[in-house]
Amino acid sequence: MKNSLYVGNETGRPNSNELPAELNLTDFLYEAIDTSAFINVKNWAQFFDAIPVDPYIPDGYRYKSIAWFRIKHIKAAAIDGIDDHIAAINKLSGMSDEESKRYLSSGKPHWVSEETGYCCWNLPQYAMQQSIKYNPVHGDMRREYPRISSGITESADFHKLLIHYASFFGWSDAIVLVQFQRVDCFTSRTGLPAVEGFHQDGNRHVGMLVVNRNNITDDSGVSQYVMDDSGKKTDELIFNSVIPPGQLIYWNDKRVWHYGTKIEVADGNVNNGRGVRDIILLSAKTPPGNMPMGPVPIKDKK
Ligand SMILES: [Fe+2]
């Protein structure tokens, strides 16, 4: 298990002087990393209490906030499709050209990791609009979510997490969707971490960091993976474990299908009979792959 801050991959650590080497995904299935050496996730558990309920889950057991970023290496040429996509969604949002330019690779990054050479732009609060191909429950529906607290997104630990993700896979340029997600349960109702069952999300790779498991049974909220076979799910579990708080797992979304089993309350007399599981999902988007960005809901536009 790796626990260094800037992992890099088998071809070396990213740095400011040269283009990073991208991880070869051909043989990569998943890898778990203990983040306790560089992130204190205990500081983040409190922020999940403030996330409002996800209005798109009728049973009300999920809470979600999101944020979009663009993370490009300083030595990399911008991928045109990324600038084009950001500009197009900004236009659909009614944003002026001048404002839109601030979010393109020609604009000034919000922060730069001097050590790895990765530059980050905070993108507007785009909606999520997944293709129906990847999400039969919510595909093609535009979903608006509140932004992750700036207390998190402006923190050094959060920047380390984004840099860890970029460094592990060694990409040159990508849009990153970050989702903070809580699922809760009560003695009278369980909670479902993956509404759609075993699935893929149309990404190349995904990261999941477990922040908190509170008052849920040890054998609930289990992460499971099965192999993909030419676009079809197979049956044999290749991973079937509870990921504890502080663990980050990266997986290859093309080669495996993922699922999280339902969560159940451990002790009905604790925490008012409520159990929660809090996670952070990281997914990098590069065209022509799935780019599930919907226009910014500008509510105060005349
Ligand atoms: Fe998923």
Q: Reduced to 3 states, what is the DSSP secondary structure of residue 41?
A: coil
Question: How far, in Å, is the centroid of ligand 1 from the Cα of 33?
Answer: 19
The predicted-structure confidence for 85-111, as pLDDT tens digits, reads as follows 999 999 999 999 999 999 999 999 999
CA 32 to chain CA mean position, Å: 15
Question: How far, in Å, is the centroid of ligand 1 from the Cα of 76?
Answer: 29
Distance (Å, whole) CA 268 – CA 186: 8
Question: How far, in Å, is the centroid of ligand 1 from the Cα of 199?
Answer: 6
Question: How far, in Å, is the centroid of ligand 1 from the Cα of 200?
Answer: 6
The pLDDT of residue 64: 97
Neighbours of ion ligand 1 (CB under 5 A): 201
Question: How far, in Å, is the centroid of ligand 1 from the Cα of 98?
Answer: 35
Q: Are 205 and 25 in contact (CB under 8 A)?
A: yes
Q: With bands split at pLDDT 50, 70 and 90, how would you rate the model's confidence at 299?
A: low
Q: What is the number of helices (H) and of strands (E) in the chain?
A: 5, 13
The pLDDT of residue 23: 95
pLDDT higher than 80, residue 8: no
What are the phi and psi torsion angles at 198 (to 5°)?
A: -60, 135
Q: Are 105 and 151 in contact (CB under 8 A)?
A: no
Q: Which token pair is 114? A: 């001097």
Question: How far, in Å, is the centroid of ligand 1 from the Cα of 257?
Answer: 8
Q: Are 242 and 222 in contact (CB under 8 A)?
A: yes
Q: With bands split at pLDDT 50, 70 and 90, how would you rate the model's confidence at 137?
A: confident
Tell me which H or E stretch contains 45. Answer: helix 42-48
Q: Reduced to 3 states, what is the DSSP secondary structure of residue 107?
A: coil
The predicted-structure confidence for 152-178, as pLDDT tens digits, reads as follows 999 999 999 999 999 999 999 999 999
Question: How far, in Å, is the centroid of ligand 1 from the Cα of 101?
Answer: 31
Question: How far, in Å, is the centroid of ligand 1 from the Cα of 165?
Answer: 17
The predicted-structure confidence for 41-77, as pLDDT tens digits, reads as follows 999 999 999 999 999 998 889 999 999 999 999 999 9
Q: With bands split at pLDDT 50, 70 and 90, how would you rate the model's confidence at 140?
A: confident
Q: How many other CB atoms are found less than 10 A from the CB of residue 30?
A: 18
Q: With bands split at pLDDT 50, 70 and 90, how would you rate the model's confidence at 138?
A: confident
The pTM score is 0.94
> Per-residue pLDDT averaged across 222-229, rounded?
97
Which burial class, exposed, middle or buried, applies to 120 when counting CB atoms under 10 A from its CB (0-12, 13-18, 19+)?
A: buried
pLDDT higher than 90, residue 224: yes
The predicted-structure confidence for 236-262, as pLDDT tens digits, reads as follows 999 999 999 999 999 999 999 999 999
Q: With bands split at pLDDT 50, 70 and 90, how would you rate the model's confidence at 207?
A: very high
Find, among 109, 99, 100, 113, the residue nearest to 78 by Cα: 109
Question: How far, in Å, is the centroid of ligand 1 from the Cα of 18?
Answer: 33
Question: How far, in Å, is the centroid of ligand 1 from the Cα of 289?
Answer: 15
